[in-house]
């Protein structure tokens, strides 16, 4: 358990040198210029997508989760943010393809720059779950399956929220004013 916390802490620290800030800027630009933002992810990446969508709503954006009840037809004025570590999850790839065919913009948040998802995307935000200097063997025992990607993606997306708050001079109070109370 303590070793896991050490590995994650170190990984996040290293992430600071691996995040491409120019791409971050392009991602924020696409989000800002869209009429609505749609998000998608499968399994645990789906929960990360939802956690991000909730914060986008708190920030004042119009945002929808693919597959939720009130999600309308996507248009060529909208952007889809698709989250997949492998970039090969069938449903995420198929739906991203549909969105591209309709003319929507696509942001891929993925661990693989050469994945099917990344190849279609207007902006490819690479979020490494495993970095070169980390030993795969140890990680798969401590952090099985997509664990490192999911944690890293969640932390990256919350960092993005911090960045947007700063750029737009939003405070915690602004977000709280939109936070659901029926829970």
**Shortest distance, position 134 Cβ to a second copy, whole Å:** 15
- Let me know how long the chain is: 183
E strands within the chain? Answer: 37-41, 63-65, 79-84, 105-110, 123-126
In whole angstroms, what is the distance from residue 116 CA to residue 85 CA?
A: 11
131 binds a second copy (CB under 8 A): no
151 binds a second copy (CB under 8 A): yes
> Which token pair is 167?
């750029």
At which residue do the structure tokens 């960092």 appear? 159
Site for a second copy in 11-30 (CB under 8 A): 12-13, 15-16, 19, 21, 24
The window from 105-113, 114-122, 126-134, 162-170 that contacts a second copy (CB under 8 A) reads 162-170
The window from 51-59, 106-114, 116-124, 126-134 that contacts a second copy (CB under 8 A) reads 51-59
54 binds a second copy (CB under 8 A): yes
**Residue 51 exposure: Cα atoms within 13 Å on the Cβ side:** 17
Whether residue 150 lies in the annotated active site: yes
In whole angstroms, what is the distance from residue 155 CA to residue 160 CA?
A: 9
What's 108's DSSP letter? E
- From candidates 23, 26, 50, 134, binder to a second copy by CB under 8 A: 50
In whole angstroms, what is the distance from residue 83 CA to residue 153 CA?
A: 8
42 binds a second copy (CB under 8 A): yes
Of 10, 137, 150, 183, which one is the catalytic site residue? 150
**Shortest distance, position 180 Cβ to a second copy, whole Å:** 5
The window from 67-75, 110-118, 127-135 that contacts a second copy (CB under 8 A) reads 67-75
Active site residues: 150
């Amino acid at each position: 358990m303590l070793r896991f916390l050490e590995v994650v802490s170190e990984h996040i620290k290293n992430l600071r040198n691996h995040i491409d800030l120019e791409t971050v800027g392009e991602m924020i630009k696409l989000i800002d210029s869209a009429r609505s933002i749609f998000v998608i992810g499968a399994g645990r990446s789906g929960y990360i997508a939802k956690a991000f969508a909730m914060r986008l709503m708190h920030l004042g954006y119009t945002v929808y989760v693919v597959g939720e009840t009130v999600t309308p037809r996507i248009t060529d004025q909208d952007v889809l943010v698709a989250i997949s570590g492998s970039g090969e999850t069938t449903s995420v790839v198929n739906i991203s393809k549909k969105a591209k065919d309709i003319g929507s913009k696509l942001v891929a948040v993925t661990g693989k720059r050469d994945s099917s998802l990344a190849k279609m995307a207007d902006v490819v935000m690479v979020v490494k779950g495993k970095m070169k200097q980390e030993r795969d063997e140890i990680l798969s025992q401590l952090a099985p399956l997509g664990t490192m990607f999911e944690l890293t993606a969640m932390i990256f997306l919350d960092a993005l929220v911090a960045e947007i708050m700063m750029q737009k001079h939003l405070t915690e109070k602004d977000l709280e004013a939109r936070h659901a109370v029926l829970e």
